[in-house]
Amino acid sequence: MLKKNVETFLGCDSDWRDARVVLFGAPFDSTTSFRPGARFASAAMRKESYGLETYSPYQDKDLADCKIFDSGDLELSFGSPAAALSDVDRRAKHILKDGKIPFLIGGEHLVTLGAVRAASGAYPDLHIVHFDAHADLRGEYLGAKLSHACVMRRCHELLGDGRIFQFGIRSGDKSEFTWGKERVQTRLFDFEGLERTLDALAGKPVYFTVDLDVLDPSVFPGTGTPEPGGVSFEELRKAVTLVCSSANVVALDVNELSPHYDASGASTAVACKIVREMLLAIQKQEV
Amino acid sequence: MLKKNVETFLGCDSDWRDARVVLFGAPFDSTTSFRPGARFASAAMRKESYGLETYSPYQDKDLADCKIFDSGDLELSFGSPAAALSDVDRRAKHILKDGKIPFLIGGEHLVTLGAVRAASGAYPDLHIVHFDAHADLRGEYLGAKLSHACVMRRCHELLGDGRIFQFGIRSGDKSEFTWGKERVQTRLFDFEGLERTLDALAGKPVYFTVDLDVLDPSVFPGTGTPEPGGVSFEELRKAVTLVCSSANVVALDVNELSPHYDASGASTAVACKIVREMLLAIQKQEV
Amino acid sequence: MLKKNVETFLGCDSDWRDARVVLFGAPFDSTTSFRPGARFASAAMRKESYGLETYSPYQDKDLADCKIFDSGDLELSFGSPAAALSDVDRRAKHILKDGKIPFLIGGEHLVTLGAVRAASGAYPDLHIVHFDAHADLRGEYLGAKLSHACVMRRCHELLGDGRIFQFGIRSGDKSEFTWGKERVQTRLFDFEGLERTLDALAGKPVYFTVDLDVLDPSVFPGTGTPEPGGVSFEELRKAVTLVCSSANVVALDVNELSPHYDASGASTAVACKIVREMLLAIQKQEV
Amino acid sequence: MLKKNVETFLGCDSDWRDARVVLFGAPFDSTTSFRPGARFASAAMRKESYGLETYSPYQDKDLADCKIFDSGDLELSFGSPAAALSDVDRRAKHILKDGKIPFLIGGEHLVTLGAVRAASGAYPDLHIVHFDAHADLRGEYLGAKLSHACVMRRCHELLGDGRIFQFGIRSGDKSEFTWGKERVQTRLFDFEGLERTLDALAGKPVYFTVDLDVLDPSVFPGTGTPEPGGVSFEELRKAVTLVCSSANVVALDVNELSPHYDASGASTAVACKIVREMLLAIQKQEV
Amino acid sequence: MLKKNVETFLGCDSDWRDARVVLFGAPFDSTTSFRPGARFASAAMRKESYGLETYSPYQDKDLADCKIFDSGDLELSFGSPAAALSDVDRRAKHILKDGKIPFLIGGEHLVTLGAVRAASGAYPDLHIVHFDAHADLRGEYLGAKLSHACVMRRCHELLGDGRIFQFGIRSGDKSEFTWGKERVQTRLFDFEGLERTLDALAGKPVYFTVDLDVLDPSVFPGTGTPEPGGVSFEELRKAVTLVCSSANVVALDVNELSPHYDASGASTAVACKIVREMLLAIQKQEV
Amino acid sequence: MLKKNVETFLGCDSDWRDARVVLFGAPFDSTTSFRPGARFASAAMRKESYGLETYSPYQDKDLADCKIFDSGDLELSFGSPAAALSDVDRRAKHILKDGKIPFLIGGEHLVTLGAVRAASGAYPDLHIVHFDAHADLRGEYLGAKLSHACVMRRCHELLGDGRIFQFGIRSGDKSEFTWGKERVQTRLFDFEGLERTLDALAGKPVYFTVDLDVLDPSVFPGTGTPEPGGVSFEELRKAVTLVCSSANVVALDVNELSPHYDASGASTAVACKIVREMLLAIQKQEV
């Protein structure tokens, strides 16, 4: 009797029971204003992750030694951001309820809002560490409040002042920066001050959201809105490893890979490697 | 003093006042469930139309002799189908109010609903001639009623039984065909019976909607949901010419070109040529 | 508790026990001499099949009513054709042993040899119906006997004269045609005589192998060796339906989709639709 | 001692002395107004021709039995059409002087003018058979007389009325058709009347020029100016075979493949196969 | 009454009267010897610029506060470099005559010569600051004097010794460097010495020409002749900001984006962002 | 009488007799497990090398002054690694026998084994300097011993402990690193210690193998298995120049360019420039 065809991200084949981290994909990009396609990210990453090894020479750790479950992709309603966010919220809640860490693979950045809702329900003192090229602090965008360009503003409405810490930001409407000045900590262009921020967050529950367009488009062209002038792969690799290994990360996501703009596959490989390093680094909490 | 940079579809440079046909683009694809990208169609067609001649040897007519105004693209809210349809409706109403014919360039097929609303307001006895690979008769799709897969069902709610005439259909859920049997005239696979239908519609106001995926993907690969087994370019060219020259077309559209799947540009050229032939054929009404 | 991520070809989600047809993929292309890439076919088809409906208006049948199990892809050793063929053979034997029909998704055409070995073991009186642009009758190619260009020659060694029936052939070395004249029935360019052949094969066990490059490259550009001058989609659709519904097909395959040469996705859609029609047509045998 | 790396079109490896037909490439596209890239055609065809067989089942002939020399590509001055045409003219003269048939692989269609100059020098009674989507009869284009869009007008200036026979034409400025009416024989859309024309040309020296965009873009998307509505591969294959085997072709060319618009390689395969069939058909003159 | 469809580069929608800087495009690439396509740059940049914000966090300035007019693209004669250069010259003169700064978007680098002719007419003491991977100092190239590979040599003929200052150069024929040694200041590989040069040019009228291939191909693959080993985005961003804000720039250009080699769109984004930063930096002169 | 069409890598047109370095291509990728396509590298590099200059401003040397012969590509049997390696071995032996230096252009990395066999026959004291992202030290891979993933393990079997010096390695199975610890010198991530290694190798015969995926995918996306986190172009350029100019290199290769993943051509340009610099640097030995 042959087995069913189970597909997971590289090395994420634990049983649900044992798993401490649970992956899920949110293939959604309906509010993307410039170039859609992030909906294809989670499937592409699952498939292309097999170009990587499970072992990381950076951390001398192996995914084969970790307990991770891949619960596949949600089936989301295109054209209905509210419904899609509810579905993301529900899945994340399900995972959190069992004491596990939800790891969301977007999709456009708006999907983060669904997971932040779930995480802030479970951890009222939630803080957000946010890597991105774009501030995403607009009040509304083209008449819509549920838009990728407003996602951090919506998160701020949930969490309040002083809870969001942005790094790598290099693009935004002037008014976003003005609005954010007193409410959000925004580090322009790079990760300077990250260690200090993590020290200040010691012990607090952290939602960690990585918009991969924080990377320079030379490293990561495969995204909806390429913003020249970003960080290098090494800078991002070190920064995500630091956050995942030293903060109390209770939920996390990686988003905005758009495989259609990744003719060479290099961006998908970058996304997969960043996820691998995050999965390996977060394991310290299992001890 | 230099002039502003005005861009129009090939040969559509009349003044608003003189124009009998008015083009407008609806760059929207948020409910597209399979592969987005139709939002880029109108801009691509405007640009690539200059690979064509204004003269048609098929009809021995020239766009240079026609009165057409290109009013550019709407700026639509991604992620909000209801808002987008309102904007399409408003633009179409504006054009109809001045006694002109709106020619909508989609976008995903859902945008048709906005223009049909406007046209059925102006012409209560409106009928629809619909070329497509897909029946688009679902009650809802992935929980949404405003979806490209439901657009003809929504139109049916506006117009009632016996008003929609479909040709070229070759894909649908079984229940769509069952539902449609008594309510909609559906010709599978080709255009047989089109002349008879047009005879029956003589004098009645017709909305003509062309989903370009009615074409075989060999001719028109550049679309979101390629359906092998479609009609040839010659079959479509003759059929659209027939409808535009012999029916009382009061509004019309062409949709579902997705330039990102058109590496060679051939699909965009097909879309442009079909639009040129439609524009030339509909001119007989100006006499 | 969340479920594992099971991925199947559209509508092929039966239990193993109930299934009469069992899909499996053979991602192998090591002997491809011109352009490799057929290894990516089965994964691409599984993913892109969801752009189709389960219902076929051609046959008025629905995959939802069929019993098909998708056993996923083999993990084959690149660079070792002999080992790869053993693995294909073993999987096909496993399926045949349970009285089910193996449906192999290639890969390059060589993989057919593995399944033919298994099927000729189970059915010593096996005949082959072969659709292809290329005769594949070389004795050896670039020094290798296990090559895609020799696959029918190898099959002939297993089955003997008068057992192989080729259609659509339009390319080959002159010596292949000379050699085949007395041993193989070769119909050039199209499917003429197919009904007569099927009549002659009535009741006999048939292995049905479809090299999709039998299609014209306008319809199916996404293949390793495009051969202009092939059959249309409608011709192939009708021919595969005929074979699957009227012959005693005991094993079958579809091969030589190469997704890297299918920028628009239209070729993958063609491959999926042909497989859907084959799966639906072969179901008559379940009654 | 190892040999130098000689590259030829498939099967064209005769000695200069023995050869009756001599290939040469003219990688030039400077006057292309819409999309350049035809400069890459001859190199791509030389390389991709090895995806074909030397044997043609259509004609039951083999390139291995023919005497053809491939003299490689000219190095032409981009930006200087006059200089480029001189170089083409010189190469063609060199070949004609030795009693051989020059077979030019373009490049944009303007290069034909260089070879027609040489051929009309050698054969003052030269006639032209011209397959194309575009009439190419403009007096000038964007201020230039040496433009791809004017090439047949320039040829007419050399040869005079009644010497040019066009087939497959489906695009042009209205004035081109008006001008051509009394001077050139223009068959719109297809090859009807070709046999009659060839009968009338019996014995006369013929220059045969094939702009591959005469093909429908479904068959041949890889060209600078795709014109939907063209002929099929089979129609072109039969027509070129007819011209080459029954007319007194003294020089010929194939042009306007633009490999950059041929992501799948299918257009390059079409170009190569058409050239193979022309090379095989013209061989009858060697007897 | 609907408005005409005016398209501009992001935020460049001033009236002609108010504008201090005037954009225009020169879609020309006929002399490009390696890979054409720069003709598509200005249209692509106009369209893709809307992926950017008008606000720059680098300079804390906003295009919304600037006075820039976009006069669209010239219609240039392909195949006639002399005619094309005259048209560029005429447009630049028109802009200079009104006391405005022409900002040319190429096109291949040869178009710079047209604008330099106009600028050196208006400012006889003109100097050139030139960023490029290639020296462009050939006397002639493939027999042509009006070639992209000779553009700085032609400019030298207009301006004489000691007027041209090159940075970032990393490719050239040996003889170019020898010739240039006494006549042109050439900094290899990077921007070292740029401040010193700008000090020396204080007050003098400067033509600033940026061949974007000065960037490393990892940052800017979308160009005709990629030259590995170039500068980073940050290095170029700082250098162009320095030149535009501290020199007396009287005319400027950016060229050699070739969108066809920019599958991801990242190169177009780089070109747009560099232009935005240049437009913002040059505004200091308005005070 | 026209000449045959000889094609060589840029500037490599010496006579066999004079040549000190002899290029040859090994278009083979049958054991590539992730994404094939390296077979197309040598032809692409030969063609695209003409986008470069023969002169290097880095070394102030010119290929025009060097003696290099390009012997073209081997015709290798796909699907038979053993046969392919024999052919590579034989060609390298032929070159070595005449006292020349073989320069192999792969192909997948396995082809190196063929050339190492030849070189270790001629120079029993052979050492290997190896630049790569992957350790390639597996005992076997997917059941095969002749696999790209095992190539250095096979070389170790020929040469023994302490003869292989790896740099830039950043990917491997954990067991590879364990196995290699005592047997191979492996420098992770970069080229630190290269000078020391070269000092230690002074006078000893060195085989130098460069897997281009040692570069970061931002610089070199066009490869089968992109590994983010690699070295920059400048780091590799300096390192290869150092090895070629200071070690006693008796044979060398460059491999793993996969042009199909190089839409922009930038990776091919990188490969060509690295080869140019290696060819120029190794010339010092001719003195």
- DSSP for chain F, written as a single string: -PPP-B--STT-B--TTT-SEEEEEE---TT-SS---GGGHHHHHHHHGGGS-SEETTTTEEGGGS-EEEEEE----TT-HHHHHHHHHHHHHHHHHTTPEEEEEESSTTHHHHHHHHHHHH-TT-EEEEE-SB----S-BTTBSSSGGGHHHHHHHHH-TT-EEEEEE-B--HHHHHHHTTTSEEEESS-TTHHHHHHHTTTSEEEEEEEGGGB-TTT---BSS--SS-B-HHHHHHHHHHHHHHSEEEEEEEE-B-GGG-TTSHHHHHHHHHHHHHHHHHGGGG-
A27, closest residue in chain B (CA to CA): B33
Average pLDDT in chain B: 96
Q: Mutate which of D28, D30, D109 to disrupt the E interface (most E C-beta within 10 Å)?
A: D30
Read off the pLDDT band of E284 (50, 70, 90): low
Provide the 3-class DSSP secondary structure of residue D215: strand
In chain F, what residues touch E262 (CB-CB under 8 Å)? 264
Q: How far is CA D164 from the centre of its chain?
A: 14
In chain D, what residues touch B216 (CB-CB under 8 Å)? 218
Read off the pLDDT band of A135 (50, 70, 90): very high
Over range A191-207, report the average pLDDT: 97
Read off the pLDDT band of A283 (50, 70, 90): confident
Give the CA distances from residue F158 to residues D30, F126, F127, F249, in Å, rounded to whole numbers and listed in that order. 55, 10, 11, 18
Domain tally, chain C: 1
C238 close to D278: Cβ distance less than 8 angstroms: no
Report pLDDT digits (tens) over E91-120: 999 999 999 999 999 999 999 999 999 999
| F146/C29 CB distance under 8 A | no
| D144/E39 CB distance under 8 A | no
Average pLDDT in chain F: 96
Peptide bond into C107 cis (omega under 30): yes
Closest alpha carbon to C228 in B266, D216, E121: D216
A83, closest residue in chain B (CA to CA): B143
* Residues in Cβ contact with D17 at an 8 Å cutoff, skipping those fewer than 6 apart: F1
Report pLDDT digits (tens) over D76-99: 999 899 999 999 999 999 999 999
Whether A287 shows a pLDDT value over 90: the answer reads no
Give the CA distances from residue E209 to residues E166, E170, E248, E252, in Å, rounded to whole numbers and listed in that order. 10, 16, 13, 6
B:E CB pairs within 8 Å: 60
Q: Is D161 among the domain residues?
A: yes
B30 close to B106: Cβ distance less than 8 angstroms: no
Peptide bond into F107 cis (omega under 30): yes
Over range E135-162, report the average pLDDT: 95
| B35/C51 CB distance under 8 A | yes
A24 close to C5: Cβ distance less than 8 angstroms: no
Q: What is the pLDDT of residue B287?
A: 38
* CATH label of the domain that carries residue F151: 3.40.800.10
Helix runs in chain B, H state only: 41-48, 81-97, 111-122, 151-159, 174-180, 194-200, 233-246, 266-282
Give the CA distances from residue A234 to residues A274, C136, F234, in Å, rounded to whole numbers and listed in that order. 10, 50, 17
Q: What is the pLDDT of residue F284?
A: 55
Q: What is the pLDDT of residue C168?
A: 98
Sign of CA dihedral A11, A16, A18, A23: positive
Whether C286 shows a pLDDT value over 80: the answer reads no
Whether F287 shows a pLDDT value over 60: the answer reads no
Give the phi and the psi of residue E189 in degrees, each rounded to 5. Answer: 75, -35
Instruction: Retrieve residue C27's tokens.
Output: 């991602």
Whether B286 shows a pLDDT value over 80: the answer reads no
Read off the pLDDT band of E142 (50, 70, 90): confident
Instruction: For residue B77, give how far its alpha carbon lies from the nearest alpha carbon of chain D (Å).
Output: 33
Instruction: Retrieve residue D212's tokens.
Output: 């591959």
Q: What is the DSSP letter of A285?
A: G
Pairing of β B21-26 and β B101-106: parallel
d(CA A162, CA B236) in angstroms, rounded, equals 60
Write down the ipTM of this complex. Answer: 0.95
A141, closest residue in chain B (CA to CA): B77
Over range A37-56, report the average pLDDT: 96
Whether B280 shows a pLDDT value over 80: the answer reads yes
Whether F218 shows a pLDDT value over 50: the answer reads yes
d(CA A152, CA A180) in angstroms, rounded, equals 10
Whether E286 shows a pLDDT value over 50: the answer reads no
Provide the 3-class DSSP secondary structure of residue C49: helix
Q: Is A7 among the domain residues?
A: no
Instruction: For residue D53, give how far its alpha carbon lies from the nearest alpha carbon of chain C (Å).
Output: 6
Q: State which H helix or E strand residue E24 sits in.
A: strand E21-26
Q: Is E187 among the domain residues?
A: yes
Residue with tokens 């040496």: D146
Looking at chain D, how many residues does it have? 287
Cα of first residue to Cα of last residue in chain B, in angstroms, is 38
d(CA B118, CA B113) in angstroms, rounded, equals 9
B176 close to B138: Cβ distance less than 8 angstroms: yes
Neighbouring CB atoms inside 10 A of D234's CB total 14
E114 close to E85: Cβ distance less than 8 angstroms: yes
Q: What is the pLDDT of residue A98?
A: 95
Q: Is F16 among the domain residues?
A: no
In chain C, what residues touch F78 (CB-CB under 8 Å)? 30-33, 142, 144, 147
d(CA B228, CA F236) in angstroms, rounded, equals 48
Better-predicted residue by pLDDT, E164 or E1: E164
d(CA A90, CA A95) in angstroms, rounded, equals 9
A4, closest residue in chain C (CA to CA): C71
Residue with tokens 């553009």: E151
The share of chain E scoring above pLDDT 90, in percent, equals 95
Instruction: Retrieve residue A37's tokens.
Output: 């396609």
d(CA B274, CA B103) in angstroms, rounded, equals 13
d(CA A131, CA B215) in angstroms, rounded, equals 45
Residue type, C46: R
Report pLDDT digits (tens) over B128-137: 999 999 999 9
Q: Is E273 among the domain residues?
A: yes
Domain range holding F44? 21-281
Instruction: Retrieve residue C130's tokens.
Output: 């072969």
Over range E138-145, report the average pLDDT: 91
Cα of first residue to Cα of last residue in chain A, in angstroms, is 38
Q: What is the pLDDT of residue A285?
A: 46
d(CA D36, CA B285) in angstroms, rounded, equals 39
Read off the pLDDT band of F285 (50, 70, 90): very low
d(CA A237, CA A249) in angstroms, rounded, equals 16
Helix runs in E123-249, H state only: 151-159, 174-180, 194-200, 233-246
A231 close to A188: Cβ distance less than 8 angstroms: no
Q: Is F227 among the domain residues?
A: yes
Q: What is the pLDDT of residue D1?
A: 84
Report pLDDT digits (tens) over E10-54: 999 999 999 999 999 999 999 998 999 999 999 999 999 999 999
Over range B101-112, report the average pLDDT: 97
**Which chains border A (3 or more CB–CB pairs < 8 Å)?**
B, C, E, F
What pTM did the predictor assign? 0.96
d(CA F62, CA F54) in angstroms, rounded, equals 5
D143, closest residue in chain E (CA to CA): E77
D271 close to D212: Cβ distance less than 8 angstroms: yes
Q: What is the pLDDT of residue A197?
A: 98
Neighbouring CB atoms inside 10 A of B178's CB total 11
Q: What is the pLDDT of residue C1?
A: 84
Longest alpha-carbon distance in chain B: 63
Residue with tokens 């020409």: E209
Neighbouring CB atoms inside 10 A of C75's CB total 11
C266 close to B221: Cβ distance less than 8 angstroms: yes
D105 close to D118: Cβ distance less than 8 angstroms: no
D73 close to D26: Cβ distance less than 8 angstroms: yes
Average pLDDT in chain E: 96
d(CA F118, CA F91) in angstroms, rounded, equals 9
d(CA B186, CA C248) in angstroms, rounded, equals 35
d(CA E10, CA E57) in angstroms, rounded, equals 16
Instruction: Retrieve residue D79's tokens.
Output: 């930006």
In chain B, what residues touch A80 (CB-CB under 8 Å)? 81, 143-144
* Residues in Cβ contact with E70 at an 8 Å cutoff, skipping those fewer than 6 apart: B4, B5, E8, E9, E12, E13, E22, E23, E24, E46
| B188/C234 CB distance under 8 A | no
Q: Is E12 among the domain residues?
A: no
| B51/D226 CB distance under 8 A | yes
Report pLDDT digits (tens) over B202-258: 999 999 999 999 999 999 999 999 999 999 999 999 999 999 999 999 999 999 999
| B216/C216 CB distance under 8 A | no
d(CA C198, CA A209) in angstroms, rounded, equals 61
Read off the pLDDT band of A286 (50, 70, 90): very low
Provide the 3-class DSSP secondary structure of residue D83: helix
A:E CB pairs within 8 Å: 62
